Structure 1
Amino acid sequence: MHRRKSTTMLLVSVVGLALAAACSTENTTANTATAGGPRKAEEGFQQSGSGGDITKFCGTKPMKVGFLKSAGGNTWVLQAAAEFKDEAAKCGNVTEALFAQAINDQQKAISDITSYVAQGVNVLVISADYGVAELPAISKATQAGVKVVTILGDAGGKPGTDFVDAVTFDTDFIGKKWADFLHEQVGKGTVAFLGGTPGNETSTQFFASFQKAMKAYPEIEIVDDRVQDTNWDPALRRKVMTGLLSKHGRIDAIVSDFNGPDTGAIQAYDSANMERPVVASITSNNEIGCDWAKKPYPFLVMGQTSSLPRLALRIGVAAFQGTANTESAKLHPEPFTYLPNGTAPDCKPALPPDADLTADLTESQLTELFKS
């Protein structure tokens, strides 16, 4: 996730999770998959990257496909890669499905693109976490005949010229969901926005959308009116949150562009003997779900984010095969809401703490993926 993260997202590993019961998720939408077609939150927007049928676009030409994650090193990335390969396996004419990640290394992210072009990849999905720095390599890949589709980061350039399309979240949609949730659960108070590395594009975009949506609710103040940089690191997020609580007293809510590191923020409240905050975020987290049941709090998370590569692959495959695909590249991810005394988030102690249990992979697939 979600992301979806413009540099590496370092997540801590926690062992010995005490809560063994797994609870089913409750989603706040009534949308269901339509046979043979994409699920849509509303007209013109896709809800989940798994909603389409790739077999309609597979064509007959043999093809090699690849997925590059510019920033990586965490469970979300492994899940996204598994979803990409699962989608590719549905086309019998895919000869190879490749995956590589550059962990906090912009130059490697760029050289990986060049390498995949040299290896004869026909369809390339790129999480352009380093933005416009990757555009020259992306444009060269396109000029070489590779059908490139980007996800998450904005590489600049022009869809249809520098690359086929860009699969992105509608941050305005997400920002409004967060703002509405805070209005319902907080009413009047304060909120801190927790982001990643200083100045990163993902946090900047999410914050701008959230800030705009919060104009409708002036009774809720954004602490310092800026992104609180935490490097998507739970330990740093705890330190930053501890400082904010010391400076401002209890803060009623936190909003973040990646839920995994919020474990650190919650620990800051617990250590200060403060009531846990209202939390709104994106990309569900297994450890959060297990911990939530111990001390529940109002919680909204946008799920199924690791399915982005599925949609991107379908768009790229259709472009390479010359088959028509009218799926929207803009996603309105599904919101999952959890309230005290209500349905709890999923908790699977056998899976990694930072696993996203809203992913479009079965529990058996996730178990197989992380068994080593």
Structure 2
Amino acid sequence: MMDEIAGGRTTGRAGAIGLRLRSSVAAAVLALGLAPTGAAWSQDKMMATVGRVGNVDELVTMDKVCGTKPIRVALVDGFGGNSWRRITRAEYEDEAKKCPNIKEVLYADGQNNPQKTISDIQSLVAQGVEAIVVFPDAGPAMLPAIRAAHKAGVAIVAYTASPGGKPGVDYLDFVAPNTPSDGSTWAKWVAKTLNGQGKVVFLGGTPGNLQSQAELEGIKKVFADFPKIELLGGGPVDTNWDPAETQKVVSGLLTRYPQIDAIISDYGGGSVGGIRAFINAKHPLVPWAANDANEFACLWQENKAANPNYQMMTVSSRTWLVRVALRKAVAKAEGVDDPEPSIVNQPIVEDSTDPKLPPKCDSSLPPDAIFSSQLPPDKLKAVFAQ
């Protein structure tokens, strides 16, 4: 059974469209601290990894944690209106279907309203839902409700956005990508593609967000070994993770800087606006590193012939991380071990310079479809057919 809940009511309707808000994952690194690879500690006499950094090859399959007790699970979204959230919800529902003992699969859209998200969590706890995964868009404002759920015995896992507090104490765990590692991965590729010299722009998100700041640290660490690479402006250029805003910002950068040799962006879907700015300015396209999105790859395919220096690389957009969070919550509710890492190093999924990782474009799917999703093609298409 898959239902959307709102303040404790099963509504069966789609959530309202919200503004895109890519929440910070860097708090896991900057505020909470990360345990080194291999670290784990006992939690209620059950060996469960909390805060461990690891790789995708250390992840397990859902059948390893299903258990046998009938339970209900829920995904609480701070908002659920954009395509990334829709794909994530489909991944969560797909993963939950793999356990026959999961009797209800619930979903709550906070509609970009922190108070509603808090109410959704409280309602689910009152209903006795055993396992909850939450994307706490509002950050620390969500911590009291999340902590109360944890104290009530609910297996509650935050993912992608940190609510503050301490994993393993205030909630079961925090699942997120290794954000500084993303910055390092992009920077290494750019340095190699530019042969160690050139002027680079880093496009970030909202002003002061911790995600872009953590990525910047990874970028700077790599570029420190390449004195002939200059990071223009010294830090992330704010784009609000919005394609239209990104187009305006990049247009301004092209006017301000006569030489831009490469772009790093922490939002592939927003990068398409920047690419259009280059095209409109009749400026040759340059190497571009981001995370994967259908239109990002399609634009590369459309423009690569006329732009010989134009290459692209992406890391995963990690909609599948919700599966990891769900497995951790279910394992706890079932009393089953789950040795998976909490902070996951992201793989490169596309690289136009590597014949083994060609960019993926499917014009039959919407521009913001994500191919690093673990949904089968038919289920990915079904997300956008709704």
Q: Same fold (TM over 0.5)?
A: yes
CA deviation profile, 1:133-163 (whole Å, cap 9, x unmatched): 2111110111121111111112221111111
Aligned to 2:269: 260
Aligned to 2:343: 330
Aligned to 1:172: 180
CA deviation profile, 1:35-80 (whole Å, cap 9, x unmatched): xxxxxxxx9613179x422222111221111112224421111111
1:151 equivalent to 2:165? Answer no
> Shift in Å at residue 170 of structure 1?
1.2
| SS of equivalent residue, structure 2 residue 235 | strand
> Shift in Å at residue 360 of structure 1?
0.5
> Shift in Å at residue 225 of structure 1?
1.1
| SS of equivalent residue, structure 2 residue 244 | helix
Query: Does the Cα contact within 8 Å between 1:9 and 1:72 map onto a contact in 2?
Result: no
Which residue among 62, 69, 84 is the counterpart of 1:61?
69
How many pairs does the alignment contain? 333
Aligned to 2:20: 9
Which residue among 216, 222, 226 is the counterpart of 1:217?
226
Which residue among 305, 308, 320 is the counterpart of 2:321?
308
Aligned to 1:244: 253
Aligned to 1:74: 82
Matches of 2:139 and 2:226, distance apart in 1: 32
> Shift in Å at residue 209 of structure 1?
2.6
Query: Does the Cα contact within 8 Å between 1:48 and 1:304 map onto a contact in 2?
Result: no
Aligned to 2:359: 345
Matched residue type, 1:196? G
Query: Does the Cα contact within 8 Å between 1:303 and 1:335 map onto a contact in 2?
Result: yes
CA RMSD of superposed structures (Å)? 2.2
Aligned to 1:22: none
Aligned to 1:321: 334
| SS of equivalent residue, structure 2 residue 269 | coil
CA deviation profile, 1:278-325 (whole Å, cap 9, x unmatched): 11112x111112221111221111126110011111111111111111
Of stretches 229-238 and 164-173 in structure 1, the one that deviates more from structure 2 is 164-173
Poorly superposed stretches of 4+, deviation over 3 Å: 340-344
Cα distance change of structure 1 residues 208 and 63 upon mapping to structure 2, 3 Å threshold: same
Query: Does the Cα contact within 8 Å between 2:53 and 2:178 map onto a contact in 1?
Result: no
Matches of 1:238 and 1:304, distance apart in 2: 21
Aligned to 1:36: none
- For residues 37-56 of structure 1, the aligned pairs below 5 Å read 45-47=54-56, 51-56=59-64
Q: Which has the higher contact order (CA 8 A, sep 6+)?
A: 1
Matches of 2:315 and 2:228, distance apart in 1: 24
Aligned to 2:15: none
Structure 1: which 5+ residue stretches go unaligned? 1-6, 12-42
Matched residue type, 1:329? S
| SS of equivalent residue, structure 1 residue 216 | coil
- For residues 192-211 of structure 1, the aligned pairs below 5 Å read 192-211=201-220
1:367 equivalent to 2:367? Answer no
Aligned to 1:294: 302
Matched residue type, 1:227? P
CA deviation profile, 1:316-335 (whole Å, cap 9, x unmatched): 11111111111111211220
Of stretches 162-171 and 344-353 in structure 1, the one that deviates more from structure 2 is 344-353
Aligned to 2:112: 104
| SS of equivalent residue, structure 1 residue 275 | coil
Matched residue type, 2:239? T
Query: Does the Cα contact within 8 Å between 2:350 and 2:358 map onto a contact in 1?
Result: no
Aligned to 1:17: none
Cα distance change of structure 1 residues 208 and 44 upon mapping to structure 2, 3 Å threshold: closer
Query: Does the Cα contact within 8 Å between 1:48 and 1:334 map onto a contact in 2?
Result: no
Query: Does the Cα contact within 8 Å between 1:69 and 1:128 map onto a contact in 2?
Result: yes
Percent of aligned positions that are identical: 38
> Shift in Å at residue 341 of structure 1?
9.5
Query: Does the Cα contact within 8 Å between 1:190 and 1:252 map onto a contact in 2?
Result: yes
Aligned to 1:162: 170
CA deviation profile, 1:241-274 (whole Å, cap 9, x unmatched): 1111111123111112211010000011111111
Matches of 2:362 and 2:283, distance apart in 1: 27
